[in-house]
Structure 1
Amino acid sequence: MQIEFNAKKRELQGTSASRRLRRANRVPGILYGGPDKPQPIDIDHNELYQHLRKEAFHSSVLTANVEGAKQMCLLRDVQWHAYRQIILHVDFQRIDAAHKIHQKVPLHFVNADIAPGVKTQGGMVQHVLTELDVSCLPKDLPSFIEVDLKDLDIGQSVHISQLAIPAGVEIAHHGEGDPVVATVIIRGKADAAEATEAAAAAEASAAATAASLEKKAAPAAPAEKTEKK
């Protein structure tokens, strides 16, 4: 998927300059990496906001059009306002078509509704992983990796080794073994586990409250009197 966004070179830097940009509906950012020095940029807030609503923008190779000069890059970081839907800053990393990149790719789970463990056995799908770290050339980067659940019975799982990985893509898994991606569990057990966790949390909260009240109610220790000689 080809996704391109427009940006301008940002000459003025610092807190005051960034505030002025945000008041003008622009988002300050940085484009770094590769042989060139980091380039401060700013982007139209509405354009960037609409891009960020799309899953593919977070995991695809992007094209930054900086005043007519186009560069391939990856989204690396987004800073949001604490409680408003306002983007404060964004980071992009330049990439080279001839060198492999590392990127997290989302997992798309399909056919859960027809899995025997769900459809006829009353189970539910538990997603253990929702994304995978992959290594590949930019041209081979997939927008997502599909996880087919159609054959799962209760108690069965899909592991990383069972996924259909596109050609040219390697899973950059750093742990040991063959991690579970998704599994079908008994719905009652899931509800019981959630209830147990909630009860434990409530018990811990009640104990903390009781301890706090007891501490407040305890009389203060009398001050020791100094004996005069």
Structure 2
Amino acid sequence: MTEAHFVLAAEKRSEEGRRNSRRMRRAGRVPAVVYGDGKPAESISLDVFEAYKFLANEQAYSNVVTLKLDGHKESVLIRDLQMHPYKDEILHVDFMRVHQGELVTLSVPVHLLNEHSAVGVKMGGGLLHRALTEIEIQGPVGKLPEAIEVDVAELQAGASIHLSSLKVPAGVVLVALKHGDDKEVVSIHAPHGPAAEEGATEE
């Protein structure tokens, strides 16, 4: 994790149910809930404009968020975000309370490095294929990476990179590997057609 600090203001709400949630959204608030860490769940709401701005940053999903709630602070992770099926509208957000060092599971994005200069693309004429756009990890709060970086600079046409080849911080594990599933992360498909045949003839 970086030292970036993520803070979001919230207010408690007493009214629940779909009708009240719709009324809340029309008033510019987003219904949400915060739970976990042995404390009762609390129904809360967020300012819609602050919520959109905050949730647009992918780093917010793998960092501990300080939730400023009616005079006190809660350390939380975003656990679920419900969007309208066809409108750009946040319907509900779930936050889970956490404490430093607690073991948690979440998904982080995959960031490819040097994808446009990869050997298999630039020299081999292959097509880069992203098999995974995010990876589920497990690790202690405070050591969770914001993303998994995968350098494909030396990746050849017809080759691939799997989970077992990735580097992660100490104490962090890839959930799929725990279950023996060494998934493909990225590959470069070898070229087909006239261009590939021409290359084979030249060889």
TM-score range (shorter-chain normalised) is: 0.7 to 0.9
Q: Distance in 2 between matches of 1:136 and 1:175?
A: 16
Higher relative contact order (CA 8 A, sep 6+): 2
Query: Structure 1 unaligned runs (5+)?
Result: 190-229
The alignment status of 1:185 with 2:189, answered yes or no, reads: yes
The residue that corresponds to 1:56 in the other structure is: 59
CA shift in 2, pair 1:98/1:113, >3 Å: closer
Q: Distance in 2 between matches of 1:178 and 1:78?
A: 28
Q: Distance in 2 between matches of 1:39 and 1:172?
A: 30
Letter in 1 for 2:190: I
The residue that corresponds to 1:31 in the other structure is: 34
The residue that corresponds to 1:114 in the other structure is: 117
The residue that corresponds to 1:103 in the other structure is: 106
Computed over aligned residues only, the root mean square deviation of the Cα atoms, in angstroms, reads 1.6
SS of 1:38 mapped into structure 2: strand
Asked whether the equivalents of residues 127 and 183 of structure 1 are also in contact (C-alpha less than 8 Å), the reply is: yes
> What is the deviation of 1:155?
1.1
> What is the deviation of 1:131?
1.3
* Runs of 4+ residues over 3 Å off in structure 1: none
Asked whether the equivalents of residues 106 and 143 of structure 1 are also in contact (C-alpha less than 8 Å), the reply is: yes
CA shift in 2, pair 1:47/1:176, >3 Å: same
Asked whether the equivalents of residues 107 and 132 of structure 1 are also in contact (C-alpha less than 8 Å), the reply is: yes
Residues paired across the two proteins, number: 189
SS of 1:41 mapped into structure 2: strand
Q: Distance in 2 between matches of 1:52 and 1:99?
A: 23
The alignment status of 1:42 with 2:32, answered yes or no, reads: no
The alignment status of 1:159 with 2:135, answered yes or no, reads: no
Q: Distance in 2 between matches of 1:179 and 1:3?
A: 32
Asked whether the equivalents of residues 101 and 142 of structure 2 are also in contact (C-alpha less than 8 Å), the reply is: no
Query: Structure 2 unaligned runs (5+)?
Result: 194-203
Structure-2-length-normalised TM-score: 0.87
Q: Distance in 1 between matches of 2:17 and 2:179?
A: 41
Alignment of 1:5-154 (within 5 A): 5-154=8-157
CA shift in 2, pair 1:71/1:112, >3 Å: same
Structure in which a larger fraction of residues adopt helix: 1
Letter in 2 for 1:178: D
Letter in 2 for 1:172: V
Asked whether the equivalents of residues 59 and 106 of structure 1 are also in contact (C-alpha less than 8 Å), the reply is: no
Structure in which a larger fraction of residues adopt strand: 2
CA shift in 2, pair 1:13/1:178, >3 Å: closer
Q: Distance in 2 between matches of 1:188 and 1:88?
A: 45
| Structure number with bigger Rg | 1
Asked whether the equivalents of residues 97 and 138 of structure 1 are also in contact (C-alpha less than 8 Å), the reply is: yes
Asked whether the equivalents of residues 61 and 141 of structure 1 are also in contact (C-alpha less than 8 Å), the reply is: no
Q: Distance in 2 between matches of 1:182 and 1:81?
A: 31
SS of 1:136 mapped into structure 2: strand
Structure-1-length-normalised TM-score: 0.77
> Deviations along 1:68-103, whole A, 9 cap, x unmatched?
311111112222223221212111111122321111
